[in-house]
């Protein structure tokens, strides 16, 4: 009997079309898998078996009636708890939203429903997407299926772990400074942060509005592209949404899989190539091997320099907390969520926020409030915006020379849970390679590059493209994936240790 | 110091004031969402995830509101920025659903204009406009228990229907040199803003419903000694009186603040820079929360919205839709209509100017139009406790009514009856005249018969007339009018009586 949880979304969709499997069977297989392994992995905060199966049944009936169905109809999906889902609890990983049932759907949620994809449940995340390990979740950390003692990345560790643990074939993520790409990197899955404005943010609980972007997560480049096309496109409800069609990413992924990169110029970012320290040996090794694959497929590899990246992390940690301090002000107990009654409204607001927010959230609210204060604004927020402009110029200059830029996604393989939770700077440095893309609004992908020889843990390969050129990520990514899968003799996730099914 | 009057205070001090006027726009929907923008609905029925600030929701700018703001800015002589940004004003308050208000800060859409304000005696004061920017209104708190204020309340209710209603805030530069006319200028300024927004049809301009609200800043400084430049004397500390929401209240609030500040200064006490609450019942102000010093709104550009970038062409197109300045329009109409100052002021105060203008446009003579709107109709509206616009009569009706009179088809008395019919919804004046049979009796033979009958029944009156007491004819006119149920032309009746009596009229 086929274990459908190991299949790709594309294969599941094709099998349903051929009548080899039903959506109910697929959905039930994933619910069973969740029941079997999620006690250890803790990828999910909420599971909606009933809702998922109802959608699956409706898809099966429609198919039986010969109705035309969307490409991914019946393929189950996990949704990061940052995205509001009408009737399903949505907490953004925070205790302050415990028990809140949104009265509306986010735009991407609506698109998933229109695509008739059963929503398995909501995945764990660092509280309000602040973190790189899910250790800042108000509901306990998620564990990396490759090694349950290690971090699954963050903030979208739940979505990435659900994919790596075969609890879902597809997942929604959100990426403010790497929250899709870094978890993908450490779990040997694929994740894409689309161009800013490429996917509607309406209904995504905001961390830093000018950096946030929802994106697709999957185990293959093609699956990621299929989900990208479901999610993307203009939305009147999001003023920052691009008014143009979704890039043809599925075509690009199929094109890339032919493994011909002739004429493609690939730029290695000098500052992020591991030459300047902080990068684990095995990460550098796998990265260099991936470059050789690209070269072998006809790509031209050149080194480019982005000198302003040195300041990107500092600028990011001014802009993000500033916007977050304002975005998180609405969590005040007046209209929704937790309430700690304390005499009058001001004290009630304060007490609720004191109890409902975790330490990392408080740390960033304090940072942001300070940075925006009268007398400090120019020195902090103003300077950070200037750095942002410089980072954008570095990218512009680089993309004048090359088609895509590449780097390792993270400096190291996944570290141990608890190892950095009390050292914010060490935690923040994990996002050094992913943050510049958010500052510039450009798209980025992480895909598996192999495991580091020294620890056998996943290494991620990052591809960046100019704004609106998301398709380039998929072409280059699919080519590299095809070459590597050939070399490995199958998907990297197949090399992960088997989880104990309980 | 008790008993200091406004006039006495201003003999010793020079007032400087500034006004922030908030105009609620009459767009169909709110500033950043699709909810209805309508006054008076059941609490929390015009709300959605956006204006409730639910997690995940995002604002989208109402283009109509931007258009209204630009038209208002152009009417105030402002420059329109090619690119302006919204900003977040961060502060915690339950009626602000997101705990920040989306406003404009360092890049207001409209900036640096000026407005001529015409006082009752025709003097013109030019008020400098610093900016006119867009923002969203807050919800409305109702404090339950106690005196209705937040202090002593047992709990508070929040209605978010008003949350997100589009506002334009117009901020003046400090206005100097108005002396003892400070209160008058302030009132006239706000009245002019109200008239402009109504003429632009971007707001209903109803101060009593809060659709035009004013905050009044005022400070006093010593009067310059003879030969010295008043402008060189530094400003005093100012108070900001919030939510002064009628023209009369603006005058009263300024009177109160002038006297209050002058008393403090004369007693050698400092004026505290603070916000103050206006109390309509007592005509006085009291200190508000002393938040001015402590509050830091941490403004930063609203990242959920793109800059507002109106094209030059669009702005010029909007400039073409700007109506005449209300004061200039009034001066022009006053001349054209031959109205006295009193006629004009009464018409303005009764909010009847545009009704009269429309009646004139429809063909009525100005004085006739004024007579109807300011007389019969004003009385009726007053009796019914409604506005002139609520009556079932239009300027076209008035023009038609007057033309019936001018053609001699009805007289004034019949015209009033016809108007009654129009007000009762019986149709146009002509329709009422014909359905009620109100046309004057113009058939001389019928009138002659009625005159003969009346003279025959009152021979003593005929004798008096023939003796030269022509005024005695009035009794016969009365009798004829009675006999014809008022449908005779009294002038013609008099002529016939005199003819019959053999006396020249």
Query: Quick check: B293 pLDDT over 80?
Result: no
Domains in chain B, number: 3
Distance from CA of B49 to the nearest CA of A (A): 8
Contact yes or no for A410/A144 (Cβ under 8 A) = no
Give contacts of B55 with chain A, Cβ < 8 Å.
84, 90, 92, 97, 100, 102, 205, 330-331, 336
Least CA distance to B88: which residue of chain A? A326
B344 shares its domain with B485? no
Q: Is residue B308 assigned to a domain?
A: no
Q: Using an 8 Å Cβ cutoff, are A226 and A182 in contact?
A: no
- Distance between B55 CA and the closest CA of chain A, angstroms: 5
Q: Is cis: bond before A155, omega within 30 of 0?
A: yes
- Cα angle vertex A469, ends A466, A475, to 5°? 115
* Owning domain of residue B16: 6-298
pLDDT digits (tens, 9 = 90+) for B169-228: 999 999 999 999 999 999 999 999 999 999 999 999 999 888 999 999 999 999 998 888
DSSP string for A41-68: H--EEEE-HHHHHHHHHHHHHHHHTT--
Comparing C-alpha atoms, which of A107, A120, A104, A9 is closest to residue A56? A120
Residue where a domain terminates, one of B436, B454, B476 = B436
- Name chain A contacts of B49, Cβ cutoff 8 Å: 103-104
Contact present, A245 and A233 (Cβ < 8 Å) = yes
Q: Domains in chain A, start-ordered, CATH in brackets?
A: 7-309+387-495 (3.90.1300.10)
**pLDDT at residue number B121:** 83
Residue B305 lies in a domain: no
In a domain, B350, yes or no: yes
d(CA A77, CA A171): 5
Rounded to whole angstroms, how far apart are CA atoms A13 and A77?
A: 13
- B173 and B284 co-located in one domain: yes
CB-based contact B52:A334 (threshold 8 Å): no
Q: B153 — alpha (psi -120 to 50), left (phi > 0) or beta?
A: beta
B171 and B188 fall within a common domain = yes
Cα B16 from Cα B18, distance rounded (Å): 7
Cα-based torsion angle of the residue sequence B37, B42, B44, B50 in order, rounded to the nearest 10 degrees: -20
Residue B339 pLDDT > 90: yes
Residue with token string 């954008």: A392
- Tell me if chain B has a CB within 8 Å of the CB of A345: yes
H, E, C per residue of A332-353: CCCCCCCCCCCCCHHHHHHHHH
User: Which comes out higher in pLDDT, residue B214 or B477?
Assistant: B214
Residue in chain B nearest A109 by alpha carbon: B56
**Residues 6 or more apart whose Cβ sits within 8 Å of residue B262:** B4, B8, B9, B10, B12, B13, B220
Cα-based distances in Å from A28 to A23, A49, A494, B149: 8, 8, 22, 58
A84 inside 8 A of chain B by CB: yes
Report the pLDDT value the prediction gives residue A1, as an integer from 0 to 100.
63
- Distance from the Cα of residue B217 to its chain's centroid: 22
DSSP code for B433? H
Q: A392, A375, A371, A389: which is closest to A323 by C-alpha?
A: A371
Give the pair of three-digit tokens for residue A325. 């301090």
> Quick check: is B123 in a domain?
yes
Q: Which residues of A touch B99 (CB under 8 A)?
A: 329-330, 332
Q: Which residues of A are catalytic?
A: 80, 155, 179
- Say yes or no to pLDDT of B143 above 50: yes
CA dihedral B492, B497, B501, B505 (to 10 degrees): -40
User: Distance (Å) from the C-alpha of residue B200 to the closest C-alpha of chain A?
Assistant: 28
- Name the nearest CA neighbour of A220 among A484, A500, A19, A20: A484
Give, in order, the Cα–Cα distances in Å from A283 to each of A414, A456, B104, B202, B428: 11, 11, 47, 63, 90
Q: Are the beta carbons of A104 and B300 separated by less than 8 Å?
A: no
* B313 within a domain of the structure (yes/no): no
- Asked which of B248, B279, B298 is the last residue of a domain, the reply is B298
Q: Are residues B50 and B126 in the same domain?
A: yes
- What is the ipTM metric for this complex? 0.96
A98 in contact with B, Cβ within 8 Å: no
Chain B CB contacts of A323 below 8 Å = 300, 303
Write out pLDDT tens, residues B75-102: 999 999 999 999 999 999 999 999 999 9
Alpha-carbon distance B415 to nearest alpha carbon in chain A (angstroms): 57
Say yes or no: B357 and B455 in one domain: no
Contact A372 B90 (CB under 8 A): yes
Q: Are A252 and A225 in contact (CB under 8 A)?
A: yes
Count CB neighbours of B106 within 10 A. Answer: 10
Contact B276/B239 with Cβ under 8 angstroms? Answer: yes
In a domain, B309, yes or no: no
> Which residue in chain A has the smallest CA separation from B52?
A335
The Cα A289–Cα A484 span in angstroms is 10
So what's the pLDDT on residue B478? 86
Residue B128 lies in a domain: yes
Along the 502 residues of chain A, how does pLDDT read in single tens digits? Answer: 689 999 999 999 999 999 999 999 999 999 999 999 999 999 999 999 999 999 999 999 999 999 999 999 999 999 999 999 999 999 999 999 999 999 999 999 999 999 999 999 999 999 999 999 999 999 999 999 999 999 999 999 999 999 999 999 999 999 999 999 999 999 999 999 999 999 999 999 999 999 999 999 999 999 999 999 999 999 999 999 999 999 999 999 999 999 999 999 999 999 998 666 689 999 999 999 999 999 999 999 999 999 999 999 999 999 999 999 999 999 999 999 999 999 888 999 999 999 999 999 999 999 999 999 988 999 999 999 999 999 999 999 999 999 999 999 999 999 999 998 888 888 888 899 999 999 999 999 999 999 999 999 999 999 999 999 999 999 999 999 999 999 999 999 999 999 999 8
pLDDT at A276: 64
Minimal C-alpha gap between B66 and chain A (Å): 15
Write down the H helix ranges in A232-344: 249-256, 281-296, 312-327
Give the pLDDT confidence of B438-470 residue by residue, as tens digits: 777 667 778 888 888 888 888 888 888 888 888
Q: Confirm whether pTM is higher than 0.80.
A: yes
Output the pLDDT for position B227: 87
> What is the per-residue pLDDT for B442?
67
Interface contact flag, A102 B57, Cβ < 8 Å:
no
CATH number for the domain spanning B495: value is 1.10.10.410
Task: Look at residue B2 in the predicted model and tell me its pLDDT.
Answer: 58
The predicted pLDDT at position B1 comes to 46
Measured in degrees and rounded to the nearest 5, phi and psi for residue A64 equal -60, -30
Same domain membership, residue B240 and residue B143: yes
Residues B250 and B371 in one domain: no
State how far the Cα of A479 lies from the Cα of A259, in Å rounded to an integer: 5
Cα B425-B427-B431 angle, rounded to 5 deg = 145
CB distance A203–B158 less than 8 Å? no
Average pLDDT, chain B: 91
Structure tokens at A8: 């790709």
Write out chain A residues lying below 8 Å of B296, CB-based.
373-374
B358 and B428 share a domain? yes
Which pLDDT belongs to residue A359?
Answer: 96
Indicate if B404 and B354 belong to the same structural domain: yes
- Across the interface, whether the CB atoms of A345 and B156 are under 8 A apart is answered yes
Same domain, B428 and B453: no
Q: Are residues B414 and B455 in the same domain?
A: no
Residue B164, in any domain of the structure: yes
Q: Are residues B349 and B449 in the same domain?
A: no
How sure is the predictor about B292, in pLDDT bands with cuts at 50, 70 and 90? very low
């Amino acid at each position: 009997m086929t274990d459908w949880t190991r299949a790709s979304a594309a294969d599941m969709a094709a099998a349903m079309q051929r009548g080899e499997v039903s959506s109910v069977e697929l959905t039930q297989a994933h619910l069973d898998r969740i029941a079997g392994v999620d006690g250890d992995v803790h990828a999910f905060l909420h599971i909606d078996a009933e809702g998922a199966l109802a959608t699956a049944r409706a898809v099966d009936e429609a198919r039986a009636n010969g109705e035309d169905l969307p490409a991914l109809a019946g393929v189950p999906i996990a949704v990061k708890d940052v995205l509001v889902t009408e009737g399903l609890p949505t907490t953004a990983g925070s205790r302050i939203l415990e028990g809140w049932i949104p009265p509306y759907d986010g735009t991407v949620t609506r698109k998933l429903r229109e695509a008739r994809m059963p929503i398995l449940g909501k995945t764990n995340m660092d509280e309000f997407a602040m973190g790189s390990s899910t250790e800042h979740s108000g509901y306990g950390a998620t564990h990396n299926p490759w090694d349950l003692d290690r971090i699954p990345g963050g903030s979208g560790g739940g979505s990435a772990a659900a994919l790596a643990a075969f609890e879902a074939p597809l997942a929604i993520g959100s990426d403010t400074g790497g929250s899709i790409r870094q978890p993908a990197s450490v779990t040997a899955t694929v994740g894409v942060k689309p161009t800013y404005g490429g996917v509607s943010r309406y209904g995504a609980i905001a961390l830093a509005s000018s950096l946030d972007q929802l994106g697709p997560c999957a185990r293959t480049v093609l699956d990621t592209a299929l989900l990208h096309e479901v999610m993307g496109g203009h939305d009147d409800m999001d003023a920052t949404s691009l008014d143009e069609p979704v890039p043809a990413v599925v075509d690009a992924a199929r094109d890339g899989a032919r493994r011909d990169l002739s004429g493609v110029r690939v730029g290695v970012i000098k500052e992020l190539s591991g030459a300047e320290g902080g990068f684990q040996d095995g990460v550098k090794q796998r990265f260099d091997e991936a470059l050789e694959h690209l070269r072998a497929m006809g790509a031209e590899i050149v080194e480019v320099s982005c000198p302003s990246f040195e300041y990107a992390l500092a600028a990011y940690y001014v802009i993000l907390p500033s916007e977050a301090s304002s975005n998180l002000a609405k969590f005040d107990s007046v209209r929704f969520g937790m309430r700690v009654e304390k005499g009058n409204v001001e004290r009630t607001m304060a007490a609720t926020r004191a109890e409902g927010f975790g330490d990392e959230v408080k740390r960033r609210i304090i940072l942001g409030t300070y940075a925006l204060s009268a007398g400090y604004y120019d020195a902090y927020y103003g300077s950070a915006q200037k750095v942002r402009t410089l980072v954008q110029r570095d990218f512009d200059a680089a993309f004048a020379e090359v088609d895509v830029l590449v780097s390792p996604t993270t400096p190291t393989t996944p570290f141990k849970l608890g190892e950095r939770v009390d050292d914010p700077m060490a935690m923040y440095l994990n996002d050094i390679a992913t943050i510049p893309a958010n500052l510039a609004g450009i798209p980025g992908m992480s895909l598996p590059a192999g495991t580091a020889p020294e620890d056998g843990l996943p290494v991620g390969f990052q591809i960046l493209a100019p704004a609106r050129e998301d398709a380039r990520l998929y072409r280059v990514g699919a080519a590299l994936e095809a070459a590597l899968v050939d070399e490995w003799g199958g998907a990297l996730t197949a090399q992960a240790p088997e989880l104990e099914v309980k | 110091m008790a008993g200091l009057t406004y006039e006495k205070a201003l003999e010793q001090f020079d007032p400087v004031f500034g006004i922030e006027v908030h105009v609620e726009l009459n767009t169909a929907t709110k500033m950043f969402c699709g909810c209805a923008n309508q006054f008076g609905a059941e609490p929390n029925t015009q709300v959605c995830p956006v204006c409730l600030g639910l997690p995940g929701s995002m604002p989208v700018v109402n283009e109509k509101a931007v258009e209204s703001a630009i038209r208002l800015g152009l009417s105030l002589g402002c420059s329109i920025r090619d690119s302006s940004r919204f900003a977040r004003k961060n502060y915690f308050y339950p009626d602000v659903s997101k705990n920040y208000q989306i406003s404009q800060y360092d890049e207001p859409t409209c900036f640096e204009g000026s407005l001529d304000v015409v006082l009752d005696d025709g003097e013109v004061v030019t008020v400098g406009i610093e900016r006119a920017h867009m923002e969203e209104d807050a919800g409305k708190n109702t404090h339950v228990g106690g005196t209705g204020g937040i202090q002593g309340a047992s709990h508070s209710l929040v209605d978010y229907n008003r949350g997100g209603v589009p506002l334009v805030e117009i901020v003046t530069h400090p206005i100097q040199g108005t002396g003892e006319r400070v209160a008058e200028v302030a009132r006239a300024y706000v009245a002019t803003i109200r008239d402009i927004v109504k003429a632009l049809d971007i707001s209903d301009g109803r101060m009593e419903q809060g659709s035009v609200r004013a905050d009044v800043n005022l400070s006093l400084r010593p009067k310059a000694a003879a030969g010295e430049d008043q402008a060189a004397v530094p400003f005093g500390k100012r108070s900001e009186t919030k939510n002064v929401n009628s023209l009369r209240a603006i005058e009263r609030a300024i009177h109160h603040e002038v006297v209050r500040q002058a008393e403090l200064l004369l007693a050698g006490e400092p004026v505290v820079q603070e916000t103050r609450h206006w109390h309509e019942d007592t005509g006085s102000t009291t200190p508000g929360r002393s938040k001015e010093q402590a509050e830091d709104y941490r403004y930063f550009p609203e990242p959920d919205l793109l800059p507002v970038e109106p094209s030059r062409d669009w702005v010029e197109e909007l400039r073409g839709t700007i109506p005449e300045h209300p004061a200039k329009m009034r001066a022009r109409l006053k001349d054209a209509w031959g109205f006295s100052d009193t006629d004009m002021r009464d018409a303005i105060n009764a909010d009847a100017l545009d009704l009269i203008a429309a009646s004139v446009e429809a063909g009525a003579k100005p004085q006739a139009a004024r007579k109807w709107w300011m007389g019969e109709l004003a009385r009726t509206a007053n009796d019914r406790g409604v506005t002139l616009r609520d009556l079932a009569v239009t300027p076209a009706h008035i023009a038609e009514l007057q033309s019936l009179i001018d053609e001699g088809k009805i007289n004034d008395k019949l015209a009033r009856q016809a108007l009654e019919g129009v007000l009762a919804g019986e149709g146009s004046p002509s329709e009422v005249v014909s359905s009620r049979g109100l046309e004057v009796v113009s058939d001389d033979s019928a009138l002659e018969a009625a005159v003969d009958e009346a003279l025959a029944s009152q021979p003593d009156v005929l004798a008096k007339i023939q003796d030269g007491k022509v005024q005695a004819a009035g009794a016969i006119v009365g009798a004829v009018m009675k006999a014809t149920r008022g449908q005779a032309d009294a002038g013609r009746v008099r002529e016939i009586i005199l003819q019959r009596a053999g006396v020249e009229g």
